[in-house]
Chains A and B, each alone.
Chain A
Amino acid sequence: MMMLLSHRSNRSLTSITASLLLLLAACAPPPPAQAPPAAAPTAPQAPVATKPPAAPAPTTTSATPAGTKAGGVLRIGTEAGLDQLDPHTVVIGWQINAAQNVYSGLVRPGPDLLPQPDLATAWKYTDPTTLEFTLRQGAKFHNGREVVADDVKYSLDRIRDPKTASSYATNLQSIDSIESPEKYRVVIHLKNPDAALLNNLALPAIAIVPKEVVDQNGGTLKTTMVGSGPFMFKDWVPGQKLTLVKNPNYFIPGQPLLDGLEFTVLTDPTAQVNALRSGQVDFIEPVPTKDIRSLRDDPSMLVTGGPNVSFVGVTINVSKKPYDDVRVRQALSWGLDRSAVVDKVYDGFAKPLLGPPLIPPFWAGNDEKYYSYDPAKAKQLLTDAGYPNGFKATLLIDNQAYQPPLGVVLQSEWKKIGIDVQIETVDNAVSNQRWAKGDFEMWPLRWWGSDFTDPDGAFRPTFMCKGSGSGGSYNGTRYCNAAFDGLMDKGLTISNPDERKPIYHDAMKMLADDLPWIFLVSFDRYQAMKAYVKNFTAYPNGSPYSLREVWLDK
């Protein structure tokens, strides 16, 4: 509770800063800030790359840590998402992954997904609705100007501005106003206590940007990147290639080790694997499941990653008949052999989700099993609901790679309990549109772990009656349960993660009973790289945060 930060010896804090922070923590009034839960979740258990011995605690000189080699460019194959560069309006995974290497935030997620210092070295709640940050001194934007409190205020206000059209405005909805009273001090005033805020501020999209660069580019950051992170923008071919170079003045000494990063978009997963094998790229993420085994067996390759907090489910429009009857939704959940999804869609690299959507190692995760495969029970529920012979259903399927095979599996599974599923194939722009409008019956949706750091950020806009204030709801299912909303609001007023956790476990039990989504599987995420890529750490949400620590042994 008194511990403000999760601080690790191999993390990049000087011991002086660390002691200062501990001192600060000791002096501050009991702060309702995040502390790591008692049983700190660790990185995923399954295949994680062996890391070289941890680098010694960095000193203030920018010497290369012992046992590592500086230099070289890491060439990364990405599946999509270099269409525009504004970190505040990103929507696609790899855009965020590129942005997090160029921009810094106030805080950033650690390997346990809990916030760690970034531009802010310390923070405390002076009262439950006032959060104060102390900024790092001497951190510079890539244009040479120092990052100060005004930049933080400007950036957070930019995300909150409806004109920016940032989908992350939702994550900052509790903020009332932001002040920058001193050069290195930021004060955030809240409308209501928000225990999730600190986690939300660690999202890579909540990036601190320089106002003058936005102004120079006509109010947008879509076409250039000027941050204060480990890499600097060099060149960009939209939708195709992004070249970043080392920031020699990065505020964490000894980072980054690489001279640069080069992202190439390869929309075809097979092309990604081919490019890795033939040596045009050094690193790909995610790895197509059918290639994981052969890449693992290849001694010139290294595969990292594994079980992950990302998941996929089928969203259901609960305002439509017959889905408005919870027994029908429960029948869909009982009457589904999730191992078929695991085997046929994910080649075995997934785990059935038999209950709540959030599972360990996410800190609020829960492994309860509320459902199993029980077609008899499903049929009974359908009979009780007045559909003894099943019914005709329409499943919306779009052009994202996982959707068509998933559609076929669901169709054949549900046929066994008498539900005749018609698949309607559209492309992603249409499925998104119809979901938002409520013009659908069922549509699979995938949730990347990198999209959330807090259960509130995940659940509030998705399952609450009204969604959130400023960003607008993305509750496409039309699910509304006042008791669930109550739990969500209660969860924000409690600061201790250990005390918060049961609230979200209750909320997930409620979701499992009400089933606005049929939660299907939690899928693994793997990165594959050439064996000479060293020191990559897989985060449990799949984010390649550790690229700044990566070096090449060649």
Chain B
Amino acid sequence: MLRYLVAKGLSLVAVEFGITLVVFFLVRLVPGDIVDYLYGQYMSSERLDEVRGLFGLDRPAVVQYLDWLGGILHGDLGKSLLSGRPIVADIALRLPVTLELTAVAIAWSVPLAIVLGLVAARHPYGRIDGVVSAAGLLGLATPSFWLATLLVLGLSVHLKWFPAIGFVPMTDNVVESLRSITLPALCLGTTMAAAVMRMTRSAMLDVLARDYIRTARAKGLREMDVGRRHALKNALVPVLTIIGIETGKLLGGSLIIEQIFAIPGIGQYAASSVLTRDYPVLQATVLIVATFYVVINTLVDVSYVLVDPRITYG
């Protein structure tokens, strides 16, 4: 296990290095840079090139890359070209916000999805299963931005139960923080809930049809024990996999949800840096989100061992 973790750690470094290369050169392939964005309407092409020099964008790309890489090794992600602020400081402000949002989204969606999935699998093709499965399809098919608009119109604008926009940090006021995060977390978690529910249901159905389940039933185990001791544990592996994938997707989904609810998180930071071509910010946010992906997948891999003793990492 230790050897596995060390190997995984080393591959993480390699992956990170690959990401820096890809993100750095990929963002520069997109036409237009921050100077075009800010001044394109107001200056001639020649003058724009001069201003590009003021932003340090006239240096060879390789020099800029090495410069950036050297900074990262010293824990310095550089400064935003747009705001002039150190990116590390801005990320320190914004990352906890996105993490809170993601955590609340997972906290409601995963337990609910697993319970619903189990209930649906208990009586497949029955009335309850029909409702749950339809809800699951609907949840997958509903775009989160559309759901967000509906929820805001109903619960914020008309009923005024929740704020339509904004975010209150946990440290300021716990109740207000939860109120401000409710709608965004609800929208963000919907797809995840649907996906996890469907996976739980089908994995359970798959396992429940196995021979050893029939044997367990035949030897007189109560249905409850069959489900808990024999079926659920075996069904959990694909469910954990999909939770890992969906958690990664949540970080991407926060890009849209944070825009709609004006939540000052990483997603919002990344989205605006795309439009303004704020390269250092875009690079830093992609790097962080990619790191999360890798770390979450590693955690999922490790958790297999806990639920299924047949899996080992030698």
Q: Please give the residue numbers on chain A whose beta carbons come within 8 Å of chain B beta carbons, in ascending order.
A: 83-84, 89, 91, 162-163, 165, 167, 170, 220, 222-223, 237-241, 264-268, 270-271, 274-275, 277-281, 399, 426-433, 435-438, 445, 461, 467, 471-476
List 16 A-B pairs, Cβ < 8 Å.
Answer: A84-B83, A165-B39, A238-B82, A238-B83, A274-B156, A275-B166, A277-B164, A278-B156, A278-B164, A281-B165, A427-B275, A429-B275, A432-B32, A432-B39, A473-B43, A475-B44
The answer on a CB contact under 8 Å between A433 and B36 is yes
Q: Which of A240, A265, A433 contacts B40 (CB 8 A)?
A: A433
Contacts of A162 in B (CB 8 A): 50
One of A84, A240, A266, A474 near B43 (C-beta < 8 A): A474
A467 CA / B269 CA spacing, docked (Å): 36
Residues of A within 8 Å of B41, CB to CB, are 432, 435-436, 445, 474, 476
Which of B31, B164, B275 is in CB contact (< 8 Å) with A274? B164
Q: B33: CB under 8 A from chain A?
A: yes
CB-based contact A471/B80 at 8 Å: no
- Contact status B46-A472, CB under 8 Å: yes
Residues of B near any A CB (own CB < 8 A): 31-34, 36-48, 50-51, 54, 80, 82-85, 90, 93, 149, 152-153, 156-157, 160, 163-166, 259-262, 264, 268-269, 272, 275-277
B83 engages A223 (CB within 8 Å): yes
Q: In the bound complex, do residue A471 and residue B47 qualify as a contact, i.e. CB atoms below 8 Å apart?
A: yes
Q: How far is the CA of A474 from the CA of B260 in the complex (A)?
A: 34
For residue A263, give the distance in angstroms from its CB to the closest CB of chain B: 11
**Chain A residue, CB-CB nearest to B94:** A237
How many A-B contacts are there with CB distance less than 8 Å? Answer: 146
Contact indicator B165/A275 (Cβ below 8 Å): yes
The interface residues of chain B lying within 8 Å CB-to-CB of A436 are 36, 40-41, 43-45, 48
Q: Please state if B166 and A264 are interface contacts (CB–CB under 8 Å).
A: yes
| Residue in contact with A84 in the complex, picked from B36, B84, B160, B277, CB distance below 8 Å | B84
List of B residues within 8 angstroms of A467 by Cβ: 44
Whether A240 lies near B50 (C-beta < 8 A) is no
- In the complex, how many angstroms separate the beta carbon of A257 from the nearest chain B beta carbon? 25
State in angstroms the CA–CA spacing of A270 and B165 once bound together. Answer: 11
A271 touches B262 (CB 8 A): yes
Docked complex Cα distance between A23 and B200 (Å): 87
CB-defined contacts of B260 to chain A, threshold 8 Å? 268, 271
B227 CB to nearest A CB, Å: 45
Knowing that A426-B32, A474-B43 touch, tell me 16 more A-B residue pairs with CB under 8 angstroms.
A83-B276, A165-B54, A167-B42, A239-B268, A274-B152, A274-B164, A278-B152, A281-B165, A427-B275, A429-B40, A430-B31, A432-B39, A433-B40, A436-B45, A467-B44, A475-B44
A224 to B: closest C-beta gap in Å: 10
A-chain residues with CB within 8 Å of residue B83 when the two chains form the complex = 83-84, 222-223, 238-239
State whether B90 touches A238 (Cβ < 8 A): yes
Q: Chain A contacts of B50 at CB under 8 A?
A: 162
| B residues less than 8 Å from A270 (CB atoms) | 149
B274 to chain A, nearest CB (A): 8
Report whether B165 and A471 are in contact in the complex, using a CB–CB cutoff of 8 Å. no
How far is A431 from B275 in the complex, measured between Cα atoms in Å?
A: 12
Q: Is there an interface contact between B85 and A473, defined as CB atoms closer than 8 Å?
A: no
Within the complex, what minimum Cβ distance (angstroms) separates A9 from chain B? Answer: 38
Contact B40 A280, beta carbon cutoff 8 Å: no
A266 — which chain B residues lie within 8 A by C-beta? Answer: 165, 262
Out of A167, A220, A427, name the residue touching B84 (CB < 8 Å): A220
Q: Which of B80, B163, B165 has the most CB of A within 10 A?
A: B165
Closest beta carbon of chain B to A400's beta carbon, Å: 10
Q: How far is the CB of A86 from chain B (nearest CB, A)?
A: 8
Q: Which 10 A-B pairs have the closest CB atoms?
A: A432-B40, A472-B47, A429-B32, A222-B84, A433-B36, A167-B42, A429-B37, A238-B83, A472-B44, A430-B32
> Which residue in A84, A281, A431, A474 is a CB contact (below 8 Å) of B42?
A474
**A429 near B34: Cβ-Cβ < 8 Å:** yes
Cβ–Cβ < 8 Å partners of A271 in chain B: 152, 164-165, 260-262
Kindly provide the distance from the CB of B135 to the nearest chain A CB, expressed in whole angstroms. 26
Residues of A near B38 (CB, < 8 A) are: 89, 91
Q: Which residues from A are CB-within-8-Å of B269?
A: 239
Chain A residues lying within 8 Å of B153, measured Cβ to Cβ, are: 274
Closest to A430 in B: B32
CB distance A280 to B165 under 8 Å?
Answer: yes
When C-beta atoms are compared, the residue in chain B nearest to A468 turns out to be B44
B153 to chain A, nearest CB (A): 7
Chain A residues within an 8 Å CB radius of B164: 271, 274-275, 277-278, 280
B32 with A240: CB separation less than 8 A? no
Contacts A429-B33, A436-B48 hold; do A278 and B160 have CB atoms under 8 A apart?
A: yes
Q: Is the CB of B45 within 8 A of A437?
A: yes
Closest to A277 in B: B157
Q: Are A83 and B42 in contact (CB under 8 A)?
A: no
B42 in contact with A170 (CB, 8 Å): yes
Cβ 8 A contact of B44, one of A275, A280, A430, A473: A473
Say how far B278's CB is from chain A's closest CB, in angstroms. Answer: 8
Report the nearest A residue to B152, measured CB to CB. Answer: A274
Closest chain-B Cβ to A355's Cβ sits at a distance in Å of: 24
- Which chain B residue lies CB-closest to A438? B45
Known: A274-B152, A430-B32. A238 touches B85 (CB 8 A): yes
Residues of B within 8 A of A238 (CB): 80, 82-83, 85, 90
Report Cα–Cα, A281/B157, bound state, in Å.
12
